[in-house]
Amino acid sequence: MNRKIVQVAAGVITRPDGCFLIGQRAPGTFYPGYWEFPGGKVEAGETPAQALCRELDEELGIRVERLNPWLVREHDYEHAHVRLHFFEVPQWSGSLNDHVHSELAWVRPGAVDRTPMLPANGPILKALSLPRMMGVTQAGQIGVEQQLLAVDRALDNGLRLIQVRDRGLPDTLKRGYVAALIQRARSKGAIVVLNDEVELALELGADGVHLSAERLADCSARPALEWVGASCHDRHELERAAQLGLDYAVLGSIRETPTHPTGQPIGWEGFSAKAQGLPIPVFAIGGVSAEDMVTARAAGAHGLAAIRSAWPSA
């Protein structure tokens, strides 16, 4: 028998150093001792955003000054089937004064040292460890040596997610080039995904694969790699990526670009309409740069993917 879905709002409250806040559930509640993201039930007449603002005031004594829509995930607990609306809260005021948890802790993405976490939060923790900026390579246009130099500069500047998409590059050059790029990225702790080349990713030890929209449509199961994403152009493709349990999607084009000169840009409103309510992070691509990050995240994007603007010049 289908149970009523309980709507819940949860906040990823962050500090400037990148750490986020979690709380330990108190005795006498469901899952006592488990860690969770602060938030609570959406009451009648409230939007999830309004509910989160109220809950964070009541629970923690803080006032939300800015919040961004992020992910929506469902989980079937023993006591309820919940739909969790996750928001990022990058700007807030007040002093933390917890009223409901046994303990609060600031933790770093990819290094959460508090257990156990509520079962619904595993995919959320992985999503939070996904960098916010993706650089998409173009060695087929600028040459292997220039691309590797650009990768070195970008890694030194903090880039930690690279999609290798080098169409037109001869196979005689590709293997050695990709191996060299992976080695450089690994020395900086960066993630490398190869566009559509599952076998090469497995052979060379890449972190994952990025599926084209065509490959996504033909895919019957998630490839067996740590990180798997896909290029998407509409809601159907985004939902397909989520159905396969991919880690992220890339959606665009936000603006006109030389790469897709005849494509119809979707703009930020179009991006928000297509990406809202999904259970996986979505990057915005197409004529974007780091200067668009605040706008992108306000529209619900996890971050940005870029070709030309990702690679600083010498």
Q: What would the pLDDT profile of 128-186 be if each residue is shown by its tens digit?
A: 999 999 999 999 999 999 999 999 999 999 999 999 999 888 888 999 999 999 999 99
Distance CA 142, CA 167 (A): 12
Nearest Cα to 139, choosing from 156, 163, 157? 163
**In one letter, which amino acid is 151?**
V
Q: Are 228 and 246 in contact (CB under 8 A)?
A: yes
Model pLDDT for residues 45-68, shown as the tens digit of each residue: 999 999 999 999 999 999 999 999
As a whole number, mean pLDDT of residues 287-298 equals 97
Cβ atoms of residues 156 and 216 within 8 Å: no
pTM for the whole thing?
0.95
State how far the Cα of 275 lies from the Cα of 285, in Å rounded to an integer: 13
Element holding 149 (H helix, E strand): helix 144-156
pLDDT digits (tens, 9 = 90+) for 203-249: 999 999 999 999 999 999 999 999 999 999 999 999 999 999 999 99
Looking at residue 257, its pLDDT comes to 82
Residue 244, exposed/middle/buried by CB under 10 A (0-12, 13-18, 19+)? middle
Q: For residue 185, how many other CB atoms are within 10 A of its CB?
A: 22
Average pLDDT along the chain: 94
pLDDT of 259 over the 90 cut: no
